[in-house]
Amino acid sequence: MHKKGMKFRVWGKGYGEGWMGEGDFYFNYEGHCNGCMTDGDSYSNEELTIQYFTGLKDANGKDVYEGDIIEREDQWDMTERAAVEFIAPSFVAVKDGCNLIGEGTFKVIGNILENPELLK
């Protein structure tokens, strides 16, 4: 296995809380992530929900992670919301066929694990 340092947010399954950090992901030879190590502790994928940093910041300068829920107003002042996900080769937040990340400014208002009701 090889490792690659990346910025991510990790949620411990069954713990009901998340923590953020930078660490190493461990990949098998097919390129699938087997787990990560952060703060000297090692975790398997079965224990974690790993959300990758997109490299983007919202209108308020907040880091945007996979699983974040973003909000923006369209040209008719209608509020649109979508969850950030990775669809190769990039991160997107699709609502009605439109990528909200690529359309003007947006802000992070929550995430799918803590605030799923924001998408209803």
How is 78-105 classified by DSSP, letter by letter? -EEEEE-EEETTEEE-EETTEEGGGSS-
11 and 44 share a domain? Answer: yes
Nearest-angstrom CA–CA distance, 15 and 65: 20
Query: Domain residues for 24?
Result: 2-52
45 and 65 share a domain? Answer: no
Highest-pLDDT range among 46-50, 67-71, 90-94: 67-71
| Total structural domains within the chain | 2
43 and 76 share a domain? Answer: no
Mean pLDDT of all residues in 47-66: 88
Nearest-angstrom CA–CA distance, 107 and 92: 14
61 and 23 share a domain? Answer: no
40 and 63 share a domain? Answer: no
Residue 83 pLDDT > 70: yes
The predicted pLDDT at position 69 comes to 97
47 and 61 share a domain? Answer: no
91 and 38 share a domain? Answer: no
67 and 10 share a domain? Answer: no
115 and 60 share a domain? Answer: yes
Nearest-angstrom CA–CA distance, 71 and 109: 7
44 and 80 share a domain? Answer: no
**Contacts of 40 by beta carbon, 8 Å cutoff, 6+ apart:** none
